[in-house]
Structure 1
């Protein structure tokens, strides 16, 4: 048996930031590999089962990018951990410098003067000390670096409005602050897409693509699929309607990819493999 020179010590301290960055890059690299494999795989009856498994892996890896690595300190407390309040939560998503902060300041009337729309925690009118400061506005990109919350009222309903940093292309793979921004968007009841009216429709197409990559489908209702995870008994899958684009074998493979081995699944509408993955992710 050979003796290892300079053996590595047992590390009981938190991982250094360089190793954490390397660990977080692993899902992004795997995502690119799966996307490349899907691009070169022909779509036909013989490959639909294989493609279904790849789509499930892709969705799972992208969801991992939304969760910060343990010990990285990149989750709560980094300016994105905003407590939910009010009757509904709305966030604004767009590219940098499209006017999100300006719109927030206009809608919420946040200023140094007391406003009739401003209500304190006790339900009475608040003074200038309880009014939030203006969200930063600048003539340069990336003025907003964290989540800026504010509140406004519609028919006596309290709406929490979040101004999020601008995202860039590749946000779904973790570029920029896309991971944190998309994680906040998942927690909102409404996503307000803010666009630059002086530019073409490509910016809207890019935003929709980035959101759909992590399972956020704008202006579309969720598929009529129910999933009830149980402690035992295996998988039970029932189709109440004909579903030519999805079969039992593919459903089982997708669920196993998510480590779901015991569950009752009811599919009440014809849906694709991608929609089924979105419904359970």
Structure 2
């Protein structure tokens, strides 16, 4: 894998020294596409099972899963133990948690799986520490808690986002509204319903050429950039909501706390004193998971509000509801 990382560094260096203008747009498009193809090998290494990109074994339970990602010693294990009652080793030294620890938190009648992952370090996406295994598990979660120390939240936030981004995770983003439809002949046809201000046709054609796409209809329904086009072609990106959990607010002033609230999608907490967790963090988690509760009503009886059937929004049809109870029910259902 060292050869791949060396090639990535060479391309990044070349991109850094190449000025972007009309004459270089095609070349830069090719470089970005080559870079994405190399990074793909870090996400899904060749050679089959057992590769370094495999995650820790985590048996899926509950209606949804939330993964804790952060640097060592930011309080993930203390938060995990408090939320779920599951013991996750916590101590005042780095790398206390060496494998994933799973527990369950019940919220509004829904069992939510909480996964405490080992602390990652800068360079995790390239295999440092156990970073690639950690991020591989994070890719399977429905929501990510990025746990940060309030002493340096913005710096650590940027590093972790960069690591996750390099592993194909797109935080708090929607899939780009771009359609690439391959065809047998006719060349490349590019259409857009909004003006494209972040890339030009030369870049688009360069990216398609690098992926050996010579015949396709490419439709842009948003003002996209070249990375978003590459994401669509690669097709292996994961779009996951994230909450930035800013821990250890018991160590800062009220004025500093006011500044933390300006960070988007953030919830300042103290896991040690259990401040702001049940009333704000858990509720924010429920909103981001976007779950719905369906209550059953027995015949000739009042609705049962004690045991809702919890479904994911958008997957809450009658069939989904029946399958959540038992897969045989819908087969006998009379529409």
TM-score bracket, normalised by the shorter chain, equals 0.7 to 0.9
Residue equivalent to 1:196: 149
Whole-angstrom CA distance in 2 between matches of 1:106 and 1:229: 51
Q: Runs of 5+ in structure 1 lacking a partner? A: 1-23, 111-133
Q: Highest relative contact order (Cα 8 Å, sep 6+), 1 or 2?
A: 1
Superposed, 1:69-218 pairs within 5 Å as 69-70=46-47, 73-74=50-51, 80-110=56-86, 134-199=87-152, 201-218=154-171
Whole-angstrom CA distance in 1 between matches of 2:154 and 2:223: 31
RMSD: 2.6
Structure in which a larger fraction of residues adopt strand: 2
Residue equivalent to 2:287: none
1:275 aligns with 2:228: yes
Whole-angstrom CA distance in 1 between matches of 2:41 and 2:188: 24
> TM-score scaled to structure 1, two decimals?
0.72
Q: How many residues align?
A: 233
> TM-score scaled to structure 2, two decimals?
0.62
**Cα distance, 1:273 vs. partner?**
0.9
Closer, same or farther: CA 81–263 of 1 in aligned 2, 3 Å: farther
Closer, same or farther: CA 59–146 of 1 in aligned 2, 3 Å: farther
User: What secondary structure sits across from 1:217 in the alignment?
Assistant: strand
